[in-house]
Amino acid sequence: MRVPIYQIDAFTDKVFAGNPAAICPLYSWLTDPTMQSIAAENNLAETAFFVPDETGEADFHLRWFTPAVEVDLCGHATLASAALIFDDLMPDKNEISFRTRSGILRVRRDGAYYVMNFPSYPPAPCKVPDGLCEALGVTPVALFDAPQEPERDRLMAVLENEDQVRTVSPDFGLLKKLPTVSVMVTAPGWNVDFVSRYFAPNHGINEDPVTGSNHCLLIPYWAERLGKKELLGRQISARGGELKCSLKGDRVEMAGKAARYLSGYIEI
């Protein structure tokens, strides 16, 4: 059986930057173990699979897998999927919709940008778990989680400045022992409104290059703190990526570009 596969770098306009996602467009679902095995074999932060949506609620039904688990929400693989659809499958459309585990997600084309409309999860202060500061190697100024997020499986650690975010060097063995799944670190940026990094060893990803879903928390936090609804964020991983961000009531929008790296087939 031949399954089409594409690898697209999201939140960048050039290959070898941003966050790479594998995309497998399908006519019908493969088995869950097969999709999980493909994601593990790809060994990228996310592999996305989509099929035409038969419910009529959206254009496509979209699912995301890390090398270890299926996840509820993924930004960069959604952007990469939309770029493939706009460029190859539906070039005449300017907006598409996906049915997902996080509801209906819409993506529109705006020039060279793909603009994703996601739920907003305003963060709330939370208790610092035992061992977190030791695992991160830094003590946060403040710590938040997102009460509205379905799984509440990630923390947002606010640091003092961009330099602290750049130099964080977590102990991933210790992070794996914490009850929470993942943690992002963020601070005001020198040349952008905010910067961030993201560590998710319990998802099979020590550091994710660019994480769209984190901005469901980051955008409402920085919009309130900075007193503005239009923001520019940068994830300062080794590959790095930039997001144009907007707070739209109980939704957030993230705009980024995409660069195709690979087109081919999987033989299974």
Known catalytic residues? 46
Beta-carbon contacts of 148 under 8 Å, excluding residues fewer than 6 positions away, are: 119, 121, 122
Q: CA-CA distance, 172 to 206, in Å (whole number)? A: 7
Residue from 192, 193, 194 nearest 184 by CA: 194
CA dist 227 and 205 (Å) reads 33
CA distances from 92 to 87, 89, 109, 117, 209 (A): 9, 9, 11, 20, 31
